[in-house]
């Protein structure tokens, strides 16, 4: 796994305070940390390390820092790595020092967030490395945890992937159910183009070559080739590029690490992987005094 952070990685700082406030309120409730407050003197000071228990790509350190400092602004938090960098098991990714009570009370919220986002970044990095040398980009989907979308999409970028549309508001993606409700591919595209201005991109999902040919007769910017076998996918990409040289071709549906290379080699521009966010395994990170 490569260790370099992507350039121009922008963290959604404007959303941090509300997330941390909600997460800490959920954990502390009305009574606070009754275990720590009973055992640890108020003036007790400690130093601790956030350490990797397994190899991985890091994301979410600003959230961990915010969690500790929300309990005590005097906490010192020093990151040893940047988000987007990879490290081996045993590596220290950050050091925290100050009030022992604050460290212990914020520990779980800090770790939950950085473990989850680092899991997203690590999974993404594996997919990105699997398609290295091809034309294809690895992109995420809207299959995200409610309330965490901005951070999960950030973690995908930290892992070297790219973001698909952020929500329902920033691009048109005509899916199979839209087509079924509209009656045909053509009807759905025509209605979407009529309702939206020329600045709005339109992508349409197709799962057969017949649907693809119908979509290519209209003003679309991208086609999502859903659940196609590799030979059919290669054929679909060739047809789409021949008909509309500037069109973007996206592959989607059940993409796995063992299959993504073959998919990339069909010539698709993008491969969307819902598993990057909807079923990712958290990276094992601990806090050690």
Distance CA 151, CA 283 (A): 15
Containing 250, the helix (H) or strand (E) segment is: strand 248-252
DSSP string for residues in 116-162: HHHHHHHHHHHHHHHTTTSS-EEE--S---TT-HHHHHHHHHHTT-B
* Residue 193 falls in the annotated catalytic set: no
- 4 and 129 in contact (C-beta within 8 Å)? no
Q: Above 80 in pLDDT, residue 4?
A: no
d(CA 105, CA 55): 26
**Distance in angstroms (rounded) separating the CA atoms of residues 115 and 255:** 23
Pick the catalytic residue: 65, 107, 205, 250? 205
Does residue 143 have an active-site annotation?
Answer: yes
**Active site includes 108?**
yes
Q: Could you tell me the maximum CA-CA distance found in the chain, to the nearest angstrom?
A: 73
Could you report the per-residue pLDDT of 190-203, keeping only the tens digit for each? 999 999 988 999 99
Encode pLDDT of 20-40 as tens digits.
999 999 999 999 999 999 999
Distance in Å from the first CA to the final CA of the chain: 28
Q: Which of 82, 142, 165, 175 is catalytic?
A: 175
Active-site residue (options: 82, 95, 108, 241): 108
Residues 208-262 have pLDDT tens digits of: 999 999 999 999 999 999 999 999 999 999 999 999 999 999 999 999 999 999 9
If pLDDT is split at 50, 70 and 90, which confidence band does 124 have?
very high
- pTM for this structure? 0.96
pLDDT of the residue at 8 = 76
Alpha helix (H) residue ranges in 202-259: 209-215, 230-243
pLDDT exceeds 80 at position 7: no
Q: What is the pLDDT of residue 1?
A: 66
Active site residue 205: yes
Whether pLDDT at 5 is above 90: no
């Amino acid at each position: 796994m490569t260790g370099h952070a992507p350039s121009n990685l922008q963290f959604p700082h404007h959303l941090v305070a509300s997330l941390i406030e909600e997460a800490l309120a959920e954990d502390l409730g009305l009574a606070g940390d009754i275990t720590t407050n009973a055992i640890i003197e108020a003036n007790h000071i400690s130093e601790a390390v956030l350490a990797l228990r397994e190899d991985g790509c890091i994301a979410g350190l600003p959230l961990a820092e915010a969690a500790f400092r929300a309990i005590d602004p005097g906490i010192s938090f020093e990151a040893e790595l940047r988000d987007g960098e990879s490290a081996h098991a045993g590596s220290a990714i950050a050091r925290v020092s100050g009030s022992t009570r604050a460290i212990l009370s914020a520990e779980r919220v800090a770790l939950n967030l950085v473990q989850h986002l680092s899991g997203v970044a690590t999974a993404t990095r594996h997919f990105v490395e699997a398609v290295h040398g091809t034309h294809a980009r690895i992109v995420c989907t809207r299959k995200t945890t409610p309330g965490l979308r901005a951070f999960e999409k950030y973690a995908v970028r930290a892992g070297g992937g790219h973001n698909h549309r952020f929500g329902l508001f920033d691009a048109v993606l005509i899916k199979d159910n839209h087509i079924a409700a509209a009656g045909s591919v053509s009807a759905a595209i025509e209605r979407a183009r009529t309702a939206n201005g020329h600045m709005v991109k339109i992508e349409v999902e197709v799962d057969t070559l017949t649907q693809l040919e119908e979509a290519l007769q209209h003003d679309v910017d991208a086609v999502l080739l859903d659940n196609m076998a590799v030979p059919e996918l290669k054929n679909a990409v060739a047809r789409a590029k021949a008909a509309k040289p500037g069109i973007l071709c996206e592959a989607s549906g059940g993409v796995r690490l063992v299959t993504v290379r073959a998919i990339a080699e069909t010539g698709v521009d993008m491969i969307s992987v819902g598993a990057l966010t909807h079923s990712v395994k958290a990276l094992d990170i601990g806090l050690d005094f």
